[in-house]
Amino acid sequence: MNALEHVLEPITIKNMELRNRVVMPAMGTNLANDDNSVSEANLAYIRRRCQSGAGLYITEIVAVHPDGCASPNSLAVFDDRFIPGLKKMVDSVHKEGGKIAMQLHHVGREGFFQLKSGRAIAPSDVPSLIYGIKPREMTTADIAEVIQAFGDAALRAKDAGFDAVEVHGAHGYLLMQFLSALSNQRQDEYGGTMIKRARFVIEVLNEVRLRVGEAFPISLRISVNEAIKGGYTAEDMQAIVPEFVNAGADIIHASFGTHGSPAGITIPPVEYEPGFNIGLARKMKDVVNVPVIGVGRFTDPALADQAIARGDADLVAFGRQHLADPDFLSNAIKGRREKTIECIACNQGCIERLMFEGGRIRCAINPETGQELKYPIGPVKESLRVWVIGAGPGGLTAAYEAARLGHLVVLFEKEAQLGGQLRFAAKAPYKTAYKHWIDTLAAKVRDSGVEMRMNTYVTKDRLELGNPEYVILASGGEKILCNVEGSRCSMVCDAWQVLNGEVDVGDHVLIVGAGLVGMETADFICSKGSKNVTVVDKLPESPVSSMTSHGYMLHRRLRKAGCTLLFKTEVEQINEGSVTLNIAGRAQNISPLQHVIVAIGLTPKIELKEVLEAKGIQHAVIGDARQARRIIEATEEGARAAWNIVPQTG
């Protein structure tokens, strides 16, 4: 039996025939022009995603009303002037054999862009869960205007050639704000019981159906479970979703969560197993007779095939996997799944970049994503002898990209293993996906023809003998030492030794440094059974923000394990079995202790930079060799260093 028999089976929904059951769901990009029209970057992005071979592509959110735009660079369809650009998007998808649905969206109260300008509207004037700012409560005239806007937008989508529309009723945006008792406190016909709160959604669906006709497919994306204290449940949704189908929904896209749901559950972190949420799709299938799209961090088409075979869903959405590696489906079909770069659910380049940095879409492990217009195809006109020094994420990325473009690449790594800091990060709980990524990337580097020299430390003499034409310095960082009295005691070690299994820690442990390394080391040793773990840092709070999905989960696990976090705290003295701390000017002794683990961080290791400058060798410094930070900075700098290699003139 074909392992993908079910997921590759075609399906017809109204007048739309899909070649398979794989869906790319809506994901924000911020790639639109400043007037919310389709940009060349939008088109390049969607063309690359279409190479996956999925059956259905759903656009990112497209605003149906000027007051409903999520950001200045999100797409819109509230005027006929947007149609030509949107039609180009349709043509791009159709050219690759896929079908495309436009996601119709109104941000309601959950858009800082609208809140800041005073134009945000919502069913009630309850403050935004994220931004804490009150919107304006909608009048019945506002409601009628927005309903008409959804209908107008759907008709424009049909006129632009889209194969379907999707009404966005999930994730805390306007339609869901009406569904939720937490945000809808109206006393009129649009508030009160669940059926009354659903009236707005039903009227939107009725209007959309009226405008597009009976044969045109309408998908409704819903959060089956609100996933927040006091929110509605899957059982509540089961009671109401048949009414949505009666109102015109031909597809139920079964997502979950809202703004403010713990751990950013709508974009689940690596702690959640692929396919973890498919049960909510099954709950919808139990009460409706239309196709249901299942979601939940899917990365492997074989897992989706199993879900469809069980009857849990009719189609399966692959969101961030389309960012990490758009070739995942074709690789699976051709029996070469080992070549797929699987999403590691780090969220650095996608949701966190969009929400916290206001940036445009990226992927921490795929530098092409969001940069399709800048991504060089190659080969270069002149191959150079390129040395990459260091085989962490940045160095591996640089080596692969340089070789892909046709350069002659030698990769040097002073250790016996590839991966740099990721070798240690992958030892933390729930992060085996990071090791899988490094292993897959390393295999791509080998397959690209890069000469790999392990256990090789590059010195000034080696540089002079080798005479490379270009050097990418990805040498990482040096561990910052804890230089206090007693730091050479036998019980002092560093986090990397612990994560690497070189030190078996006891029950009573103090960790110096509450950055990601320190926090994940605490998580690691707590998971091994250590009972009394304290983490200290001189900063007022941990650099690991609980606003991020992984950060939230990490803080929660440490609290549950009884781990103590002390901030504005410095280590003054270490003795065998105890430590003296300065906590906001107050001395405190911690004992008994079996280990003090240093996790202060890294400082750039760039002694070769002076040599390269003195010899006049063209070079780039990337990753931790510039400054200790995240995967996304290392990989993007590595890729750009490779893309920017040019022959030296003169």
Q: Which residues are annotated as catalytic?
A: 173
Angle between helices 432-447 and 393-404 (to 10 degrees): 30
Handedness of CA 348, 353, 354, 356 (dihedral sign): positive
Q: What stretch of H or E contains 254? A: strand 251-255
Do the bridges between strand 385-389 and strand 408-412 make them parallel or antiparallel, or are there none, so unpaired?
A: parallel
DSSP secondary structure letters along 115-181: HHHT--EESS-PPPTTT----EEPPHHHHHHHHHHHHHHHHHHHHTT-SEEEEEE-TTSHHHHHH-T
Contacts of 155 (CB under 8 A, 6+ apart): 211, 212
Contacts of 144 (CB under 8 A, 6+ apart): none
CB atoms within 10 A of CB 528: 11
Identify residue 500 by its one-letter amino acid code. Answer: N
- Per the CB < 8 A criterion, the answer to whether 207 and 253 are in contact is no
- Per the CB < 8 A criterion, the answer to whether 469 and 384 are in contact is yes
The three-class DSSP label of residue 306 is: helix
Instruction: For 9-43, give one letter per residue: b (16+ CB within 10 A) or e.
Output: bebebbebebbbbbbbbbbbbbbbeeebbbbebbb
Q: What stretch of H or E contains 630? A: none
What does the block give as tokens for 208? 């959309």
Q: What does R_g of the chain's alpha carbons equal in angstroms?
A: 27
Residue closest to 583 by CA, chosen among 541, 620, 520, 538:
538
Beta strands in 25-83 (DSSP E): 56-63, 75-76
What does the block give as tokens for 278? 């498919």
What does the block give as tokens for 483? 């230089």
Angle between helices 40-50 and 83-95 (to 10 degrees): 20
